[in-house]
Chains A and B, each alone.
Chain A
Amino acid sequence: MKRIKTLTNNTLNNTVVKGGCGECQTSCQSACKTSCTVGNQSCENK
């Protein structure tokens, strides 16, 4: 695909199967205390 560069090699759909363990960090415990940013957290169950 010379006109398309895909930056992701995983899709959210794949995480439905193994996700949901809840071991990851709570979003407000990092550096945001007044907004909600979840997409930048890391998965602990890779």
Chain B
Amino acid sequence: MVHQYKNNGYNIVLDVCSGSVHVVDELVYDMIAMFSDKSKEEIANAIKETYGDTYSEEDIADAYSDIEELISNGQLFTEDVYKDVIIDFKKRKTVVKALCLHIAHDCNLACKYCFADEGEYHGQKRELMSLEVGKKAIDFLIENSGNRVNLEVDFFGGEPLMNFDVVKEIVAYGRSKEKAANKNFRFTLTTNGVLLSDEVIEFCNKEISNVVLSLDGRKCIHDDMRPTRNGKGSYDIIVPKFKEFVEKRGDKSYYVRGTFTRHNLDFVEDFKLMADLGFKEISIEPVVAADGLDYTIREEDIDRICEEYDKLALDIIERHKAGKPVTFFHYMLDLNGGPCVYKRLSGCGSGTEYLAVTPTGELYPCHQFVGIEDFSMGNVFDGVKREDIVDDFKLCNVYAKDKCKDCFARFYCSGGCAANSYQFHGSILDAYDIGCKLQQKRVECAIMIKAALADLEEGEV
């Protein structure tokens, strides 16, 4: 399968199944489009008809042989040969390697779009995780992680800093177990920033390998969607703290992460503000919300959002040119050293290698399923009881989803988010259609940026 598109003056050919990316001229672009169903002579005639004398017989013959060379190198028109290996791979016994610890089912903000219902997750009690449950979760992870060395624990909420003392003690407990168990813990934390203090900053910069700082962008946008519990804006409380945090963070990883909604489809302005504030690692994601809400993204917004993604890509290229590069999470792409095909096709790991733990120790397939009774899998004290849920998620991959079969982006999104699929279709084997279209656009932009940066490196721009 080949996906061809034009963006920012580049003619891009993505050979989907090999992952090969080619930037080509007009002649080759048009010839590849005809290659599968026309003979060499028919292609040559069609080119002459379209372009007149622009290309000589020799040009056309050279282009044709170049295309044939790519095919023989396994870089064009390759077949999807992964289905059987992936299904066998997924049948293997899986291990748990990452936990999302809901350290606080409570929050000090009242963000309007919160999928966690400000910590209540479909009507759960507002409560904090005890150290006992936290330690048990670490034990559960070690016991169920087989030979995996790198284990991940995310402190999530609600707002995890509302239970900071327990966070510190869980980290210390995990570290105390690393050597004997031959494990390497990577702790991550997602925070709204309200409770960031010098002590928290110092701790996070020492122990937390990646921190996600929630900021939506412009003050008016952020304050509208992320008010405090008494209805005031939170922008002025958190931005100075985020700046201080990032300044002190050195080269340790972080993301300033925002959500855009129907209220700010011009989210490039929010990206620019974040970049201009000095943040270098930025993520802005489309809100996923129920139909009918005023801020929910609608089908009719897709074209507008895609135009915005194009603008964002150009802005990122300009920042590179100016020697001030900024990373946008969804445009990160490592064309040569990215994940293996198993990773790409087997999904995000929810329900199998990635589980969420509630404050009382209950296990769910991921943070977005927490509180949905049908997905309660067991608890950290007694382990996973619902192996049937594990099996359902194990078989949830792109080959099990009709919508993914002909999608060029399937090697980049792995079939999309199971929770989004469940929310909109009541099944984890479907796909959230608006999310798919935006994902496809982001992949196209990310590849185009690679083409532009390759030109920059070669001094062609």
Residues on A close to B: CB < 8 A?
Answer: 1-13, 15-16, 18-20, 22-46
User: Which residue of A12, A23, A44 contacts B19 across the interface (Cβ within 8 Å)?
Assistant: A12
- In the complex the two chains form, is A34's CB within 8 Å of B115's CB? yes
B contact face: mostly helix, strand, loop, or mixed: mixed
**Chain A residue at minimal CB-CB distance from B29:** A3
A20–B345 Cα distance when bound, in Å, is 11
Interface string of B98-120 (1 = CB under 8 A from A): 10100000000000000100000
- In the complex the two chains form, is B190's CB within 8 Å of A12's CB? no
- In the complex the two chains form, is B285's CB within 8 Å of A41's CB? no
A45–B150 Cα distance when bound, in Å, is 12
A24–B97 Cα distance when bound, in Å, is 10
User: Which residue of B20, B70, B343, B435 contacts A19 across the interface (Cβ within 8 Å)?
Assistant: B343
A36 and B415 in contact, given A8-B20, A31-B212 (Cβ under 8 angstroms): yes
Residues of A within 8 A of B156 (CB): 33
- In the complex the two chains form, is B95's CB within 8 Å of A22's CB? yes
A40–B330 Cα distance when bound, in Å, is 7
A34 and B339 in contact, given A8-B20, A26-B348, A42-B334 (Cβ under 8 angstroms): no
A5–B329 Cα distance when bound, in Å, is 26
Residues of A within 8 A of B414 (CB): 27, 36, 38-39
A24 and B343 in contact, given A11-B75, A29-B152 (Cβ under 8 angstroms): yes
Residues of B within 8 A of A24 (CB): 339, 343
- In the complex the two chains form, is A39's CB within 8 Å of B333's CB? yes
A40 and B368 in contact, given A1-B66, A28-B100 (Cβ under 8 angstroms): no
A10–B348 Cα distance when bound, in Å, is 23
A34–B413 Cα distance when bound, in Å, is 12
Residues of A within 8 A of B412 (CB): 37-40
A38–B23 Cα distance when bound, in Å, is 23
A34 and B454 in contact, given A1-B66, A4-B28, A39-B413 (Cβ under 8 angstroms): no
**Chain B residue at minimal CB-CB distance from A1:** B66
User: Which residue of A10, A35, A41 contacts B417 across the interface (Cβ within 8 Å)?
Assistant: A35
- In the complex the two chains form, is A35's CB within 8 Å of B285's CB? yes
- In the complex the two chains form, is A4's CB within 8 Å of B66's CB? yes
In the complex, whether B21 has a CB less than 8 A from a CB of chain A is yes
Residues of A within 8 A of B48 (CB): none
**Chain A residue at minimal CB-CB distance from B152:** A29
Residues of B within 8 A of A34 (CB): 115, 259, 285, 287-288, 368, 417, 419-420
- In the complex the two chains form, is A30's CB within 8 Å of B341's CB? no
The interface centre, meaning the residue of A10, A12, A20 with most chain B CB atoms within 10 A of its CB, is A12
A22–B89 Cα distance when bound, in Å, is 11
Residues of B within 8 A of A42 (CB): 334, 337-339
- In the complex the two chains form, is B190's CB within 8 Å of A26's CB? no
Residues of A within 8 A of B97 (CB): 22, 26
A33 and B190 in contact, given A12-B18, A16-B85, A42-B338 (Cβ under 8 angstroms): yes
User: Which residue of B285, B338, B446 contacts A32 across the interface (Cβ within 8 Å)?
Assistant: B285
A13 and B454 in contact, given A7-B21, A31-B212, A40-B338 (Cβ under 8 angstroms): no
State how many angstroms separate the Cβ of A29 from the closest Cβ of chain B. 5
Interface string of B323-341 (1 = CB under 8 A from A): 0000001111111111111
A26–B151 Cα distance when bound, in Å, is 9
A7 and B417 in contact, given A29-B152, A30-B210, A41-B343 (Cβ under 8 angstroms): no
10 more A-B contacts (CB under 8 A) besides A4-B24, A13-B74?
Answer: A2-B62, A8-B19, A10-B19, A10-B335, A11-B75, A20-B340, A23-B148, A32-B283, A35-B420, A39-B411
